[in-house]
Amino acid sequence: MNSTWRLENPAKLDGDLMKIILGPASVELGAKVAQLLGIEAVSVYSKIFPDGEVYVRLEGAVDGDEVVVVQTTNYPQDTKLIQLALIADAAKRHGAEKVTAVVPYLAYSRQDKVFLQGEAISIEAIARMLKAAGIDSLVTVNVHQEKVLERFPFPTLNLSAVPLLAEHYKKRGLRGAFALAPDKGAIHIAEQANRILSGGCGYLEKHRDRYTGQVSVERGTFDVAGRTVIIFDDIISTGGTIVAAARILKELGAEDVYAACVHPLLVGDAEKRIMEAGVKEVVGTDSIPGPAGKVSLAPLISEALKEYKIG
- Which of these ranges, 104-108, 180-184, 273-277, has the smallest mean pLDDT? 180-184
- Which of these ranges, 3-17, 89-103, 170-184, 268-282, has the smallest mean pLDDT? 3-17
The average pLDDT across 271-291 equals 97
CATH topology of domain 162-286: Rossmann fold (3.40.50)
User: What's the rounded Cα separation, in Å, for the pair 156 and 161?
Assistant: 16
Q: Could you give the residue range(s) of every CATH 3.40.50.2020 domain in the chain?
A: 5-160+296-310, 162-286
User: What's the rounded Cα separation, in Å, for the pair 79 and 34?
Assistant: 24
Asked if residue 38 lies in contact with residue 13, where contact means CB atoms within 8 angstroms, the answer is: yes
Q: How does residue 271 score in pLDDT terms, banded at 50, 70 and 90?
A: very high
The verdict on whether 206 is a catalytic residue reads yes
CA distances from 253 to 54, 226, 290 (A): 51, 6, 32
Q: How does residue 145 score in pLDDT terms, banded at 50, 70 and 90?
A: confident
% of the chain exceeding 70 in pLDDT: 88
pLDDT(79) > 80: yes
pTM summary value:
0.89
DSSP states along 104-150:
SS-TTTT--S--STT---HHHHHHHHHHHHT--EEEEES-S-GGGGG
Q: Which CATH architecture has domain 5-160+296-310?
A: 3-Layer(aba) Sandwich (3.40)
Please pick, among 113, 206, 250, 272, the residue that the annotation labels catalytic: 206
User: What's the length of the chain?
Assistant: 311
